Amino acid sequence: MKLLNQHASFSGWQRFYRHDSTIIGLPMRFGLFVPETGNLSNVPLLVCLAGLSCNEETFASKAVAQAYASQAKIALLFPDTSPRGANIPGESESWEFGGGAGFYLDATEPPWSSFYKMESYIVKELIPIVVAEFGLGRSFVGITGHSMGGHGALTLAFKYPRIFGSVSAFAPICSAMRSPWGRHALPRYLGGNEQAWRRADACELLTSTGVRFPDGILIDQGMADEYVHSQLKPELLEEACRIAGQSVTLRRHERFDHSYYFVSTFVADHVSWHAKAAGR
Residue type, 90: G
Question: Is 147 marked active-site?
Answer: yes
Rounded to whole angstroms, what are the CA distances from 218 to 50, 93, 197, 260? 17, 34, 24, 17
Annotated catalytic residue: which of 80, 201, 220, 225?
225
57-78 burial, b if ≥16 CB within 10 A, otherwise e?
bbbbbbbbbbebbbbbbbbbbb
Residue 123 makes CB contacts below 8 A (sequence gap 6+) with 156, 160, 163
Which of 21, 168, 220, 258 is catalytic? The answer is 258
Is the alpha carbon torsion for 198, 202, 206, 211 positive or negative?
A: positive
Q: Is 258 a catalytic residue?
A: yes
- Please indicate whether residue 253 is annotated as part of the active site: no
Which residue in 21, 147, 166, 179 is the catalytic one? Answer: 147
Residues belonging to the chain? 280
Q: Supply the residues annotated as catalytic.
A: 147, 225, 258
